[in-house]
Structure 1
Amino acid sequence: MKNKFLLIAVFCVLQSLFSQEKEKKNTFKFDKNGFLKELAENACQCIDSISTANKITDSIASEINVCIDKQVTAYQLGVQILNLEIDTETITDSTKTKQKDLDIVIASNPDSEQYKEAYYDLERYLVNNCVALKSKIAVNDKLNNKSLSNNPLAIEYYNNGLDAYDAEDYEKAISFYKKAVTVDPNFAFAYDNMGVCYRKLNQFDNAIKAYEKSLKIDPNGLMPLQNIAIAYSYKKEYKKALKAYERLRDIQQDNPEVFYGIGLIYFQNLNDFEKALDNMCKAYVIYIQQKSPYRSDAEKIIQMLYTEFKNKNNLDTFNTILEKNNINQN
């Protein structure tokens, strides 16, 4: 019964797309990207509904995976149906259609190549087009007893700051966050968000000061540790950035952003391609384990590093590092 309803739903989408693409010559031109867009937008709406309160990135990534997974079966089914060779000719008001037989096989095993191909098609589209995905996956705050405030006035200022941030009025947001920490000097999240706003304004020194104040309140704060590393990178203080990432790695050894950030610095700034590849491979493996859509970002860097190793006639080292991280060279 479930498959029957799924088939009906897919055909409804296909009928809509065919109707949009029907041309005056009575031929059908199906746009696969249009079908992908329809399903990816469904996944994006699902992602937008995810609550990020008191969650860390990997748990949010798992919920995002569920939203994408819901569309994978429909996408496989639709693409296989639309791969039928269809020839049409108009006879008065009707269309005679010839089609070859096609066995439709739906892969439900996430480890199968067919499933991965469909999943990654949807994932790539979402990474490039779903704003909700980027905002949800960027969340890296975990509540502790000093993260928020018990003071109603401080909370009011903080919420006003969030509203101003959403409106991209970062200076106004900073003014509200400053008021919040004046009322409650131990309001860690207010300092965190203040730092983000300063970074948006390219005021990296002020951003670092805000993150440092947050870390005095909570030395294990995930967001300030990750963001202070990014701020140091923007200031081209790469050694300090690496130390911040390493400090975060000591607290969260399964945080792929740590290895991605370290790998990016070694690749883009320090030209140490072996360390860059090793860290990027570690990030890639963890992204896959956590079903994070940022897997594709690490994959792109690994591909660029492949070119660097190839140009230096050093693909043996490239392959050795991949094998060390249990990554299939293909």
Structure 2
Amino acid sequence: MKRILVLGILLTGGFFAKAQETAVRIAENACKCIESVRTIEPDSLQAQINQCISSASASVILNGPDEERKKYTTVQGIQSLLQSSMEVLFEQCPNYRNAVINIKTVEYYTLSKDENANKAYLKGNTYAEVKEYGAAIKEYLKAIAIDSLFIFALDNTAICYRKTSDYTNAEKYYKKSLQVFPQGDVALLNIAGICLFKKQNEKALEYFKQLRFYHPHNAEGYFGIAKVSFEAQEYEEALDNAFRAYRIYSENKSPYVEDGKKLIAIIYNTLKEKNKLDLFNQKAKQYNISFEGSN
């Protein structure tokens, strides 16, 4: 009986391994196709992405061996393969990942389809503007009760709780926001900030890494990782991310460029004290950034 069970596991494992190989080939072909997509209009973008995935799937399956084609003759088999391919795409194809997140951002970072939810939300904004955060929270919660997927209301509820130093509820509502939109940059950045305030650096680092992964053009993910890594005395990681953050701030003419400079100066002075400026100079050269240092 044990021999039969082991054989079954081996055969099943072999099938899944081959299925994963097929999914990877589809993802690679689809990614090349998606690189050529130029539109940013959500509906058109989604349609072209779907076409790329369909074409890649058909090409890989039809040009594969007969044995492989037979595995995907059922609707369930094809759907499972497509799901696996899209998961690989999201992890390994930045163009696809960016497109998906852009589509979701347009979908979620907007007013509710329910006018009553919008009325409560906008009333909450009026209270928040004059720092009446308790009243604002009541209105935002009314909006959420009407539309539980209302990201603006969820994020603003968390922001107001944070303004009143209620970090437990702030974290709670940022997590609710991430349950709806896991790639939301507002919730990821702010929940990371709460974790830093609570001295939960490992949790903060995880959220900052998600922010960097999902939003590679947002400097805040890099900046947060640099700060946490510096505190952990992981200086190479800190420098890599500090220089990337500074570059993005500079390119975008962000007012936070001075924060980027200050962090780099702190790292510089620390490495100078530790007689490790070779590492700093190496990284500065790598990112083509000149820095005179600070006393």
**TM-score interval, normalised by the smaller of the two chains:** 0.5 to 0.7
After superposition, the C-alpha distances for 1:181-225 in whole angstroms (9 at most, x for unaligned) are 011111111001111111112222211110111112122212111
| Greater fraction of residues in helix | 2
- 1:280 corresponds to 2:210: no
Aligned in 2, Cα 1:323/1:176: closer, same or farther, shift over 3 Å? same
Aligned to 2:253: 291
What does 1:259-274 align with in structure 2 at a 5 Å threshold? Answer: 259-267=222-230, 269-274=231-236
The unaligned stretches of length 5 or more in structure 2 are: 1-103
Aligned to 1:249: 212
What does 1:1-330 align with in structure 2 at a 5 Å threshold? Answer: 142-145=105-108, 147-267=110-230, 269-330=231-292
After superposition, the C-alpha distances for 1:305-328 in whole angstroms (9 at most, x for unaligned) are 111111111111111111122212
Task: State the TM-score, normalized to the length of structure 2.
Answer: 0.60
Question: How far off is 1:142 after superposition?
Answer: 4.5
**Contact persistence 1:142–1:222 (CA under 8 A):** no
What amino acid sits opposite 1:295 in the alignment?
Answer: V
Give the total of aligned pairs.
Answer: 189
What amino acid sits opposite 1:258 in the alignment?
Answer: G
| Identity in percent | 38
Question: How far off is 1:146 after superposition?
Answer: 6.6
Question: How far off is 1:273 after superposition?
Answer: 3.1
**Contact persistence 2:208–2:224 (CA under 8 A):** yes
Aligned in 2, Cα 1:155/1:231: closer, same or farther, shift over 3 Å? same
CA distance in 2, matches of 1:167, 1:146: 23
Aligned in 2, Cα 1:145/1:311: closer, same or farther, shift over 3 Å? closer
Task: State the TM-score, normalized to the length of structure 1.
Answer: 0.54
After superposition, the C-alpha distances for 1:87-124 in whole angstroms (9 at most, x for unaligned) are xxxxxxxxxxxxxxxxxxxxxxxxxxxxxxxxxxxxxx
Which sits farther off after the overlay, 177-186 or 271-280? 271-280
**Contact persistence 2:242–2:263 (CA under 8 A):** yes
CA distance in 1, matches of 2:116, 2:181: 22
